[in-house]
């Protein structure tokens, strides 16, 4: 009996091996990757989620999904300037503090997003009258007070968000992107902001955060040049955030290249900071088309994109893997996709989608 069993096993070996990592789909491009068990918490880098504070307070399943699957959280809006800053020297830290308490209770790290972003400038500041020195003073006080408030509690900050234009330059004037700091202080505000954040908390890791690396060589070069320029000037910058609000029309090779190239050229830490993968970015799927079988097809396809992001992160040198943050928790919390769409890793019922398996494969399977 044992002999027969062994014969069957040996006869199966070539078949089993052919199901392994060298096997490719019929179009010869997408590798067939074995299914693996696991949790994102076990990854060799952090997985995080952007958190909406109201949902965190009111939805126990949302809360538990974060606790059960991540090692880091980011406030979706809780730590933006227009949330925190009520006026010069006046603050509302309640949402940020709630997030930090939640993180501490559950052993999660906190990534702060974002100190300065033209889009979330509070009205009082837009209307403020003052010269360049006055604005440097306001900026310094704001960064000192906020980073100081969270010293030792927020491990890393996006210091500056989105200052590269589509030509790959740091824009100084742009009609659609009124940036009060750029206008009043000039381009040097970027270096100053990093300097002030470092002075306020020398242990916090400091990031520049930007979108578009995966689809625009100009934007990628712009970030690359900015980071290198800051480093050359001795500015304390530790990493770069690639927002990666992406979709299944993008070539996965472009996504991989964006991650590995910026790591290779800048040598700083790389954070995929706002990941979501839209499956209907061209709006071809109408509400009336949506069926369970269609969702199965698009979810399985979406898995490939999530897997490639995870694999690219895993392929970086260990000290450059800052990890991957999803911009939301489940498909109903997304704020960036048009509907119908299912861009995140958990479905509307907080169940793991194939994307989750893809992420596990990205760091667990060699293919
Ligand atoms: C978005 C939030 O998700 C929305 O709730 C808010 O209304 C606008 O900002 N890039 C960023 C994020 O850096 O802060 C943005 O978040 C999404 C795009």
Query: For a substitution probing ligand 1, which of 76, 81, 163, 276 has the most ligand atoms within 8 Å of its CB?
Result: 76
Catalytic annotation present for 274:
yes
Residue 297 CA to residue 92 CA, distance in Å, equals 45
Give the pLDDT of the chain (367 residues) as one tens digit per residue. Answer: 444 443 343 343 333 333 334 455 555 566 789 999 999 999 999 999 999 999 999 999 999 999 999 999 999 999 999 999 999 999 999 999 999 999 999 999 999 999 999 999 999 999 999 999 999 999 999 999 999 999 999 999 999 999 999 999 998 776 667 899 999 999 999 999 999 999 999 999 999 999 999 999 999 999 999 999 999 999 999 999 999 999 999 999 999 999 999 999 999 999 999 999 999 999 999 999 999 999 999 999 999 999 999 999 999 999 999 999 999 999 998 877 778 999 999 999 999 999 999 999 999 999 8
Which pTM does this prediction carry?
Answer: 0.92
pLDDT at 266: 98
CA of 367 to the centre of ligand 1 (A): 34
Using the structure block, give the residue that is written with the tokens 């472009």. 254
SS3 at position 117 = strand
Other Cβ atoms less than 10 A from the Cβ of 354: the count is 20
Tell me whether the omega of the peptide bond preceding residue 292 falls within 30 degrees of 0, making it cis. no
Give me the torsion for CA of 109, 213, 210, 170, rounded to 10°: 150
Residue 246 CA to residue 277 CA, distance in Å, equals 5
**Burial class of residue 37 (count of CB atoms within 10 Å of its CB; 0-12, 13-18, 19+):** exposed
Question: Most distant CA pair in the chain: distance in Å?
Answer: 90
Q: Which of 162, 210, 214, 308 is catalytic?
A: 162
* Beta-bridge mates of residue 330: 346
CA of 20 to the centre of ligand 1 (A): 40
Catalytic annotation present for 162:
yes
pLDDT at 334: 80
Residue 58 CA to residue 46 CA, distance in Å, equals 25
Residue among 255, 271, 279 nearest 331 (CA): 279
């Amino acid at each position: 009996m044992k002999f027969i069993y062994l014969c069957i096993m040996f006869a199966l070996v070539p078949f089993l091996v052919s199901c392994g990592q060298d096997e490719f789909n019929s179009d010869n491009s997408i590798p067939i990757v074995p299914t693996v068990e696991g949790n994102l918490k076990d990854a060799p880098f952090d997985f995080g989620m952007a958190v909406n504070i109201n949902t965190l307070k009111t939805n126990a399943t949302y809360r538990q999904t974060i606790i059960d699957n991540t090692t880091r959280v980011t406030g979706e809006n809780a730590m933006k300037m227009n949330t925190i800053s009520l006026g010069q020297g006046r603050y509302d830290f309640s949402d940020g503090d709630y997030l930090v308490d939640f993180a501490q209770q559950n052993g999660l790290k906190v990534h702060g997003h974002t100190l300065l972003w033209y889009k979330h400038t509070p009205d009082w500041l837009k209307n403020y009258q003052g010269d360049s020195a006055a604005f440097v003073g306001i900026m310094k006080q704001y960064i000192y007070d906020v980073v100081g408030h969270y010293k030792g509690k927020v491990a890393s900050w996006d210091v500056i968000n989105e200052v590269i234009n589509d030509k790959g330059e740091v824009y100084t004037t742009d009609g659609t992107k009124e940036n009060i700091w750029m206008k009043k202080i000039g381009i040097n505000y970027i270096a100053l902001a990093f300097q002030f954040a470092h002075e306020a908390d020398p242990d916090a890791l400091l990031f520049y955060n930007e979108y578009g690396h995966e689809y625009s060589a100009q934007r990628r070069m712009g970030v690359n040049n900015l980071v290198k320029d800051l480093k050359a000037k001795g500015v304390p910058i530790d990493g770069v955030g690639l927002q990666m609000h992406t979709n299944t029309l993008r070539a996965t090779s472009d996504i991989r290249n964006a991650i590995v190239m910026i790591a290779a050229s800048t040598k700083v830490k790389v954070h995929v900071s706002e990941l979501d993968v839209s499956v209907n970015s061209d709006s071809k799927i109408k509400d009336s088309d949506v069926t369970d079988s269609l969702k199965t097809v698009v979810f399985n396809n979406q898995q490939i994109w999530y897997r490639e992001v995870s694999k690219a992160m895993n392929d970086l040198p260990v000290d450059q893997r800052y990890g991957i943050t999803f911009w939301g928790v489940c498909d109903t919390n997304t704020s960036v996709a048009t509907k119908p769409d299912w861009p995140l890793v958990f479905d509307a019922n907080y169940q793991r989608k194939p994307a989750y398996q893809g992420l596990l494969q990205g760091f667990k399977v060699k293919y």
